[in-house]
Homo-oligomer: A and B are copies of this chain.
Amino acid sequence: MHVYGADYYPEHWSQSMWDEHIKIMKEYGIEWVRIGEFDWALIEPIDGVFDFTILDRAVDKLRDNGIKIIFGTPTATPPAWLVKKYPEILPMDRSGRVREPGSRRHYTPNSPIFRQYAMRLVGEYVQHYADAADMWQVDNEFGCHGTKFSFTENDRKAFIEWLKKRYGTLENLNAAWGTIFWSQTYDDWDEIVFPLNTPTFENPHQMLDIHRFMSDSTIDFMNAQIEIIRKYSDKPITHNFMVDFMDLDYKKMARYIDIVSWDNYVATDDYDPLRQSANHVMMRSLKKSPFLVMEQQPGRVNWRQRNENYPGEYLGMWTKQAYVDGALGVMVFRFDQIRFGAEQYHGGLLDYASRPTKRLVEFSKAREETCGVVNPIRRVAIYFDYENEWIHRINHINRDFRYWDSVVEIYKAVRRIGSNVDFVFSDDDLEEYDVLIVPYAFKIEKTFVNKIKDFKGPVYMTCMSGLKDEKNWIVENAPEGLTEEFGIEVVDFGAIDDKEMLLNNVPHRARYWQDEVELNGAKVVSAFVDGTPALTLNTSSGKERFYVTSVLDENTWIEILHDKLPLRIVGSDVQFAEDSDNMYILNLRNSPNVIYLNSQKLKLEPFELRKVIK
């Protein structure tokens, strides 16, 4: 499959504009559109009355012109009549306030009434468009705007049911949650409430279960829709994931969908291309398969403090970057740029007067450069776990630390050296990788502990890893099950701000956390200026097992890793990747660049993608 196109909203326009839109699509190679994902009120204007007239006309016109269609199920925007009739469908936030209608995502999936209306809608929608659809998207950006969490009475009841399934008895729950602490013992399931606005810190075991439950609530709602779709259609099903987003367990969700897709928006105030790449690679890693960019930022967005106007060339480069990182295509959000609505300032491929923009021209060019799908060969594996993100958020000893940000530092280090990266999960096979990195992994599934032990190449594990169990308890001896493998025991630990360490006697800064380790076979490779170990190496098993006692930045990781990884790239602002046949070099500068690839000088044009046959 090869999917290039844009997200399109015919219902936002007078029907007289549609022909002009479709003419431009065909002219510039927009072969796919996604439609419909916010159209609940359009197709069910009155409770139980479904009217597909307008959407049908648009769908017919698109299909008559050979444009393929991804249908989004329109469950993300319950209409005003439904909210008025059943205010109980509205979610409640952590501050105990109802989240009101007037924007989007104003529902909790644990409202039985909402579920009933949403499923009826999806049933009608899918049946109606089963023939027209080339792909399905379930809802839109689950969990966006903090909507993973809802704390209504319906959510509480669903949580108790979830707990009953998980623990069976209250005795088990009391034990797992350590409720003896602070007199929190439960004697009746119905005593369990969400710990909102508590005077001080919540129970961390309960909090982890709340994270799990809220993620599962969304997944359950997604799966109920998937079940309906599969009944009427055999077309692939996806859901559009988000950038830097860890509220939901995407790994778990990826199991249920056919294609991973995601929405590629610049994640940070200062645009960082390799962070976007880390997100691409995470998406590819979820199923170890090509992924789709379902919404590609076109230029300016509307939701930042300051919304910069990226020139059209950026869209060309972003499209090429997705390709290099293994995408099967890119859909731009959005085709048409509209003058009204909460996103009126959001750019599109057309301008406000529906004329083609430079963005459209550049996207069209980039599409032509990116035929086929790159299948990057495996080099470096970085262990990741969504549940660990949640543990990191719960009463951390260093609340300044951000799990994903520190993982991205490692990702960038490896890419800058010039190696491909995969994120790996507990159930992944590690055989093909050269190097394994296990960073900040509080909880490591037992199956993965064994994979670490079995791994033939060098393993780099860091502080925090193996310090907690699946209940979010701290273990007795950390890293759990791996003290012998790494030849160290973590006997204490604490937060640091930043602290100087020496690596090859050159000073570097470590941050956030420092372990106090006891050496049981490992030797010290690098130390802090106060003499405490920073990096240890155990080779007693005949394999190389490195342990990092603190949190390091991109450059320090380059220093540590380049011993084991060939330095393919000399230069900056460039991204390197390779598949079995080619090497790909993408200039990340909107100006000429000179770099060395395996010591060979390459001159690159602005945002140029260079393919070099191996």
- A contact set with B: CB distance below 8 Å: 11-12, 38-42, 45-46, 74, 77-81, 83-84, 91, 93, 95-106, 144-147, 177-188, 190-206, 299-300, 302-310, 338-345, 351-353, 357, 395, 397-400, 471, 473-477, 491-497, 514, 516
Contact B41 A101 (CB under 8 A): no
| With A395-B302, A496-B308: A181-B352 Cβ-Cβ less than 8 Å | no
Contacts A84-B188, A84-B190, A99-B199 known; A306 to B104 CB distance under 8 Å? Answer: no
Do residues A491 and B202 form an inter-chain contact, with CB atoms below 8 A?
Answer: no
Which residues of chain B come closer than 8 Å to A147, judged between CB atoms?
199
CB contact between A81 and one of B11, B95, B187, B474 (< 8 Å): that residue: B187
Complex: how many Å from CA A308 to CA B492?
Answer: 11
Can you name 6 A-B pairs with beta carbons within 8 Å?
Answer: A12-B180, A39-B183, A99-B197, A104-B182, A145-B199, A351-B492
Question: Given B185, B199, B206, B304, which contacts A42 in the complex, CB threshold below 8 Å?
Answer: B185
Cβ contact of A41, chosen from B46, B103, B184, cutoff 8 A: B184
Which residue of chain B has the shortest Cβ distance to A307 in the bound complex? B397
Cα A494 to Cα B357 in complex, Å, equals: 15
Contact in complex: A93, B197 (CB < 8 Å): yes
Nearest Cβ on chain B to A349's Cβ, whole angstroms = 13
Q: A81: which B residues are within 8 A, CB to CB?
A: 187-188, 191
A57 to chain B, nearest CB (A): 15
Q: Does B183 lie within 8 Å of A102, measured CB to CB? A: no
- How far apart sit A201 and B100, CA to CA, in the bound complex (Å)? 11
| In the complex, chain B residues whose CB is within 8 Å of the CB of A300 | 397, 492, 494-495
Shortest beta-carbon distance from A578 to chain B in Å: 35
**Complex: A99 Cα to B304 Cα, angstroms:** 31
Asked if residues A80 and B191 are in contact (CB atoms below 8 Å), the reply is yes
Question: With a CB–CB cut-off of 8 A, which chain B residues contact A344?
Answer: 204, 473-474
Quick check: A201 and B79 within 8 Å, CB to CB?
A: no
With a 10 A CB-CB cut-off, give which of A105, A144, A340 has the most chain B CB atoms: A340
Nearest 6 Cβ contacts at the A-B interface: A309-B494, A102-B195, A181-B341, A178-B340, A77-B183, A41-B183
Please, how many angstroms separate the alpha-carbon atoms of A399 and B303 in the complex? 10
Beta-carbon contact of A399 and B199 below 8 Å: no
| Chain B residues positioned under 8 Å from A39 (CB to CB) | 183
Extra contacts besides A77-B182, A104-B199, A201-B342 (13): CB < 8 Å: A12-B181, A41-B179, A84-B188, A97-B197, A102-B194, A144-B199, A178-B338, A202-B342, A204-B340, A299-B494, A308-B495, A309-B514, A340-B474
On chain B, the residues within 8 Å of A105 by CB distance are 199-200
Least Cβ–Cβ distance between A41 and chain B, in angstroms = 4
Q: Is the CB of B397 within 8 A of A184?
A: no
Counting chain B CB atoms within 10 Å of each CB, the highest count among A38, A197, A471 belongs to: A197
Give chain B residues whose Cβ lies under 8 Å from the Cβ of A200: 103-105, 144-145, 303, 342
What B residues does A95 contact at CB under 8 A? 97
**How many of these chains are in the complex?**
3
Closest B residue by C-beta to A12? B180
Contact of A399 among B102, B306, B400, B471 (CB under 8 A): B306
Which of the residues B181, B202, B310, B516 comes within 8 Å of A338, measured between beta carbons?
A: B181
- Residues of chain B within 8 A (CB-CB) of A514 are 309
Contacts of A351 in B (CB 8 A): 491-492
Per the bound structure, the CA–CA distance linking A341 and B180 in Å amounts to: 9
Please give, as numbers and ranges, the residues of chain B lying within 8 Å of A40 by CB-CB distance: 183
Q: Is the CB of A185 within 8 A of B41?
A: yes
By the criterion CB–CB under 8 Å, are B79 and A185 in contact?
yes
Is the beta-carbon distance between A397 and B345 smaller than 8 angstroms?
Answer: yes
Residue of B nearest to A195 (CB): B102
Known interface pairs A79-B185, A188-B84, A197-B98; A339-B146 also in contact (CB < 8 Å):
no
Residues of B within 8 A of A338 (CB): 178, 181
Expressed in whole angstroms, the Cα–Cα distance for A192 and B38 within the complex equals: 19
Contact B306 A45 (CB under 8 A): no
**Does B102 lie within 8 Å of A342, measured CB to CB?**
no
Contacts of A192 in B (CB 8 A): 80
Chain B residues with Cβ under 8 A from A516's Cβ? 309
A187: which of B45, B97, B306, B309 is its contact (CB, 8 Å)? B45
CB contacts (< 8 Å) of A38 on chain B: these are: 181-183
What CA separation (Å) do A399 and B190 show in the bound complex?
Answer: 45
A399 CB contacts on chain B under 8 angstroms: 305-306
In the complex the two chains form, is A103's CB within 8 Å of B183's CB?
Answer: no
Answer whether A339 and B495 are a contact pair too, CB < 8 Å, given A102-B184, A199-B99, A305-B400: no
Cα–Cα distance between A399 and B301 once the two chains are bound (Å): 13
Determine the distance from Cα of A105 to Cα of B79 in the docked complex, in whole angstroms: 36
Nearest-neighbour CB distance to chain B for A266, whole angstroms, equals: 13
Q: Which of chain B's residues have a CB closer than 8 A to the CB of A400?
A: 305-306
Cα separation A397 to B40 with both chains bound (whole Å): 28
Contact of A352 among B339, B475, B494 (CB under 8 A): B475
* A473 lies within 8 A of B188 (CB): no
Chain B residues closer than 8 Å to A497, beta-carbon distance: 306
| Contact of A342 (CB < 8 Å), options: B78, B93, B193, B203 | B203
CB closest chain-B residue, reference A107: B199
Q: Are A102 and B203 in contact, CB atoms less than 8 angstroms apart?
A: yes
Chain B residues near A188: list those with CB within 8 A.
80-81, 84
Could you say which of B42, B183, B353 contacts A74, with CB atoms under 8 Å apart? B183
